[in-house]
Structure 1
Amino acid sequence: MRNRLDGKVALVTGGGMGMGAATAQVMAGYGASVMVADRNMAAAQETVQAILDMGGAAVAQSCDVAEEAQVAEMIAACVAAFGRLDCAVNNAAIAPDLLPIADADMEVWDRVIRVNLRSVMLCMKYEIRQMLAQGDAGAIVNIASVSSVRPLPGNSAYVAAKHGVIGLTKTGSVEVAPKGIRVNAVMPGAIDTPMLRQSLADTGYTEADFAPTLSLFGRFGRPEEVAEASAWLCSDAASYVTGHALGVEAGYLTR
């Protein structure tokens, strides 16, 4: 059904590119009104324009999701624009660190934790507050990673952050299930995004080298393949699903 999110208001962080942009567009295609939040306002506005061009409803919001005041402002702006908040996809993140623990740059480590974990906590805090104030059901999806459960060496901050995202998801689901709010996570594998392409450039790998080790299909995933999973978890079709971490990783976690 193309209308599974009709009448719902959705928030997507990191919505200016990659999985975030795809998620915002897929959710709009299913009928949601979407706030597209990103530190890069120009990128957020490009996503919004794509949604408007397809006949959807969307607004852009500049937000550094690691800053509490800006997260609170983002939620208030969403409610001001659309009247409520029904579902949120906490997608914003930065690329993994690339040093072993013994050589870790702690400034980089702290920044990865701040953007990839603290931001999810802050977004959940204000999203849940708004959903509780509305007094009816809601759905939150946190974008984790296959690294949440299967770490790679040299990414200690990223792995710790994404492990933490699963912990926040499960804790949140227990806390708010009695209020009808569902909290789930999606664990993408190797998805063809600007972040992945930059990581390949940084490490000197090519897609041909890397994809077969991370996918039973031998290819990178498409951002919209992750977006569809997030949209489903936000929809009433997933009404009996909470506290779950859904892998979208072409079988990587089976090996």
Structure 2
Amino acid sequence: MGLLDDKVTIITGAGRGIGAAAAELFAAEGALLVLAARTGHQVEAVAAGVRARGGRAVAVAADIATGEGADRVVRTALDTYGRLDAAFDNAGSGPLPAPLAERTEADWDAVHAVNLRGTWLCLRAQLRAMLTGGRGGAIVLCGSVGGLVGGFGDGTQQAAKHGLTGLVKAATADYARHGIRTNAIAPGVVRTPAVEHLFTAGPAFGAAVARFTPAGRPATAGEIAQAAAWLLSDRSSYVTGVTLPVDGGITATRSFS
């Protein structure tokens, strides 16, 4: 029996990075997957890799910043497997850090369209499906350590990630009685393809990460996926309304100097 055995599970932002690592892990733990991303060729390649290893996965090219896209991902789960048991709302985007006063309205709108509005649209569609199914379920949002403390990343993204904590609490208050658990994870620095150039450009970035992270290193995408898998599994059956730091100790120390 795997940790997610026979659980119909959506992963958004599944084309690369944490989402792709989650797809590999969740499939190995027995999940039946719906993988979504804006980049159709990337997410189809991830789904093909899961199937090649004996897992079950379908890919959906969808922009979850639109209600139509978020709803289509859920419909794919229902049409393919007949139900929805779990979801890892991982899709997100963010600019390089800059002071808030230097940001434009367009910057704000672009960040919030995916990170907050898009996550809410996915959460809304998933909650509706789970309520209709009557089986309960589990949903995990991918936040950030920047949603728990200041001084970490871009301010527009931090505002959106703080909003995810609010969504988790609201969904728990509204739907825990229906057997639907809603939690979030808050990663620190994760070494993914999106930030690999920062590590390879020179030693300064890696040294800074090691300095302000008590664990002394960035996370791997697989380590973040492991935390999400546990929160989606029945082993966390009494855990809901939580934003779990997966940050190597950053929020324990808030040491950014």
Q: Given the two structures, how large is their TM-score scaled by the length of structure 1?
A: 0.94
Does 2:145 align with 1:146? yes
Instruction: Map Cα deviations across residues 211-230 of structure 1 (whole Å, 9 max, x no partner).
Output: 21342121111101010110
- Which residue does the alignment assign to 2:251? 253
In the alignment, is residue 17 of structure 1 matched against residue 27 of structure 2?
no
Indicate conservation of the 8 Å contact 2:94/2:154, yes or no: no
2:80 match: 81
Between 89-98 and 242-251, report the one with greater CA deviation: 89-98
Alignment of 1:2-151 (within 5 A): 3-151=2-150
Equivalent residues in 2 for 1:131-210, closer than 5 Å: 131-152=130-151, 155-197=154-196, 206-210=204-208
Percent same amino acid among aligned pairs? 36
Displacement of 1:38 in angstroms is: 0.3
SS of 2:63's partner is coil
Using the alignment, how far apart are the partners of 1:221 and 1:183 within structure 2? 23
Distance 2:81 2:203 in 1: 44
Change (3 A) 1:213 1:113: farther
> 1:199, 1:178 → 2: CA distance?
44
- Render the CA deviation track for 1:31-52: whole Å, top value 9, x for unaligned: 0100110000111011112211
Is the contact between residue 190 and residue 214 of structure 1 (CA under 8 Å) also seen in structure 2? no
TM-aligned CA deviation for residue 207 of structure 1: 4.0
2: CA distance, partners of 1:205 / 1:101: 27
Which of these residues, 224, 227, 230, is aligned with residue 228 of structure 2?
A: 230
* Structure 1: unaligned runs, 5 residues or longer: none
Which structure 2 residue ranges, 5 or more long, are not aligned? Answer: none
Q: Is the 8 A contact 2:28 2:55 kept in 1?
A: yes
Distance in structure 2 (CA, Å) of the matches to 1:155 and 1:81: 38
Instruction: Report the secondary structure of 2:106's partner residue.
Output: helix
Paired residue total: 253
The separation in 2 between residues aligned to 1:155 and 1:201, in whole angstroms, is: 21
SS in 2 for 1:211: helix
TM-score by length of 2: 0.93
Shift in Å at residue 148 of structure 1? 0.6
Question: RMSD in angstroms over aligned alpha carbons?
Answer: 1.7
Structure 1 residue 83, shift from structure 2 partner: 1.1
Partner of 1:217: 215
Letter in 2 for 1:64: D
